[in-house]
Amino acid sequence: MLLSILTIIHDALVLTKHQFDNHPLWAPQEWGLWYLLTPITFRLLNHLYDPAQATKKRPYILVGLVIFCCSMTYQAIFDFYFYHDEISRTLVYFAPSHPVVIGIIMAIWYHFLKEQPATERHAQTLLVDSGKDKVALPLEDIININSASNYVEIFTHEKTYLKRTTLKEIEQRLPAKYFIRTHRCHLININYITRIHTSPTGSLSIVMKNGQPVNLSKTYKHQVKQLWHDAA
């Protein structure tokens, strides 16, 4: 809409031979798709982004490629049917500008909308279910947490508690200095690691102080070892 207004103002101020002479709906037709693709981009980025792996660029590249393919496909089809432009001409014309738009959208998400990693400023307890009651469980008592459908299982030396939440949500409430993801279904307290075990087949697991083994994905291997080393 801003482009349409600027075009009208431009044409009103210059000589006829220098006017753009665009229809008022030209800009919404050309760029209106971003009203749809922008929130979709935000949702995809939030869905794929993992604060525990914030340095990895895979979500940004993947989302950028998907949105770029969608926008260029729309543009080629739109210009072919409404302006009878050749598809190759449209692709060449818009190929430089669409990545710029996608980059701006991602920059806005990164600086204003991105889910922030857990920080040190957390409460010292976690409210969990214990029968019909709610219990304020000290974070230092938590050994590990497993995903269980719409719930998580929270293990301590004395008892296992349930909490209706997702592993990702609870991870964001816990201090990243002590709690780290080891697998898409497992979160551990780094202070309760006994050893990291490698099986003859090469699969990794962590043995906790309560004797429970926890799967260690190769994706999280480096982060877990580094945090464990720093905490030692």
Residue 27 lies in a domain: no
Tell whether the model's pLDDT for residue 1 goes beyond 80. no
Which residue, among 15, 111, 23, 33, has the nearest Cα to 75 in the 3D structure? 33
Query: What is the span of the domain harbouring residue 181?
Result: 125-231
Do 75 and 99 lie in one domain? The reply is: yes
In a domain, 221, yes or no: yes
Tokens of 41: 């981009």
Placement of tokens 């929270």 in the chain: 154
Summarised one tens digit per residue, pLDDT across range 34-51 is 889 999 999 888 887 755
| 131 and 63 within one domain | no
CATH code of 182's domain: 2.40.50.1020
**Measured between alpha carbons, how far is 87 from 72 in angstroms, rounded to an integer?**
10
pLDDT computed for residue 143 by the predictor: 94
Query: What number is the average pLDDT over the span 177-203?
Result: 90
Q: Which residues of 82-119 are buried (b: 16+ CB within 10 A; e: fewer)?
A: eeeeeeeebeeebeeebeebbeebbeebeeeebeeebe
- Return the minimum-mean-pLDDT range out of 22-31, 60-69, 93-102, 222-231: 22-31
CA dist 164 and 153 (Å) reads 9
Q: Let me know whether 139 and 226 are in one domain.
A: yes
Q: Which residues of 147-159 are buried (b: 16+ CB within 10 A; e: fewer)?
A: beeebbebbbeee
Which are the contacts of 61, defined by CB distance < 8 A and separation ≥ 6?
none
Q: Worst-scoring range by mean pLDDT, 1-5, 52-56, 92-96, 151-155?
A: 52-56
Is 15 domain-assigned? Answer: no
Asked which of 59, 92, 113 is the last residue of a domain, the reply is 113
Of the three residues 58, 84, 113, the one that is the final residue of a domain is 113
Residues 220 and 135 both lie in one domain = yes
| 82 occurs within a structural domain | yes
Greater model confidence, 101 or 5:
101
What span, in angstroms and rounded, lies between the C-alpha atoms of 3 and 189? 53
Q: Higher pLDDT residue, 190 or 14?
A: 190
> Is residue 101 in some structural domain?
yes
Q: Do residue 37 and residue 109 come from a single domain? A: yes
Rounded percentage of the chain residues whose pLDDT exceeds 70 = 80
In this prediction, residues 176-195 reach a mean pLDDT of 91
Using the predicted structure, report yes or no on whether residue 25 has a pLDDT greater than 80.
Answer: no
Question: Is 149 or 161 the better-scoring residue by pLDDT?
Answer: 161
CA distance 171 to 200: 31
pLDDT band at 58 (very low <50, low <70, confident <90, very high): low
- The mean-pLDDT minimum among 2-16, 143-157, 161-175, 212-226 falls in 2-16
Is residue 8 a part of any domain in this protein?
A: no
Inter-residue contact 207 to 167 (CB < 8 Å): no
Q: How many domains does the chain have?
A: 2
Judge whether residue 2 has pLDDT over 70: no
SS3 114: coil
Would you say 147 and 214 are in contact if contact means Cβ atoms under 8 Å apart?
no
Q: Which of 113, 147, 180 delimits the end of a domain?
A: 113
**46 assigned to some structural domain:** yes
pLDDT band, residue 23 (cuts 50/70/90): low
Distances in Å between the alpha carbon of 219 and those of 50, 104, 130, 193, 196? 12, 29, 33, 18, 15
The model's pTM: 0.47
